[in-house]
Amino acid sequence: MPYKLVKPKIDMTVRKLCRLPYHNHSKGCPNYNHKAGCPPNSLAISKILKLNKKIYVIWNAFNFAKHRQRMKHLHSQWSQRQIGCCLYWQGQARKSLQIEIARFKIRHHNYLILECPESHGVNVTRTMKRIGIELEWPPVYLAYQVAIAGKGKESNERIIQKTSSNKLGTNKRTIFSR
């Protein structure tokens, strides 16, 4: 059962992490200000969920160390950067998170799921620490995928419409799900 009740650590400054440079991306994540579910276009969690109601964190722990071993065995000539490249593992990890979300929804009807909590101002590292899980940065053994679930505000239908059909066009990835 990889979900627990949690009081999320809200800190809107985590949205700035998207702007930090990383390999081949000197301006940070290329989705920033281009994808509907990404900052600065994404709404604050306080505008989406009722924070005075139960909030759950749902997660998947992907065995990153095992993946790296497997990739090294399959591609012995690859660099460490290639072996750990998210293109080769993130899809599988996200699929596992979707399975956990589906399991959660069986028992928790009418909860709104935020699949990218950082973009809504949730400090995922501190939130996970509140339930006893220490995230590794950068991941060495386990890479976590995390979602937040809560009761949506009454106006969430308009919020969902506005967010998913803004000037940026259609967003193929689910921003919110019920």
- Between 170 and 97, residue with greater pLDDT: 97
CA 67 – CA 139 distance, rounded (Å)? 12
Q: Is residue 50 over pLDDT 80?
A: yes
pLDDT of 169: 39
Q: pLDDT confidence of 19, banded at 50, 70, 90?
A: very high
Q: Looking at residues 141-167, what average pLDDT do you find?
A: 71
32, 66, 83, 138, 145 from 70: Cα distances, Å = 32, 6, 9, 19, 20
Name the strands in the sheet holding 142-150, side by side, starting at the edge strand that comes first in the sequence: 3-5, 55-63, 142-150, 112-114, 176-177
Return the pLDDT at 173.
40
pTM across the whole model: 0.84
Under 8 Å CB-to-CB from 12, ≥6 apart: which residues? Answer: 44, 121
Residue-level pLDDT at 156: 54
Average pLDDT, the chain: 87
The pLDDT value given to residue 65: 97
Q: Domain segments of the chain: what residues?
A: 3-177
User: pLDDT per residue over 84-131, tens digit each?
Assistant: 998 899 999 999 999 999 999 999 989 999 999 999 999 999 999 999
Q: State mean pLDDT over 133-153.
A: 95
Cβ atoms of residues 2 and 133 within 8 Å: no
pLDDT of 139 higher than 80? yes
Helix ranges, the chain (H): 45-48, 64-74, 80-83, 90-107, 124-130, 156-164
CA dist., res. 95 & res. 145, Å (int): 10
Percentage of the chain modeled with pLDDT above 90: 77
Q: Which helix (H) or strand (E) holds 177?
A: strand 176-177
Q: Please count the other Cβ atoms lying within 10 Å of the Cβ belonging to residue 29.
A: 17
Region 65-82: what's the mean pLDDT? 96
What is the rounded distance in angstroms from the CA atom of residue 38 to the CA atom of residue 119? 6
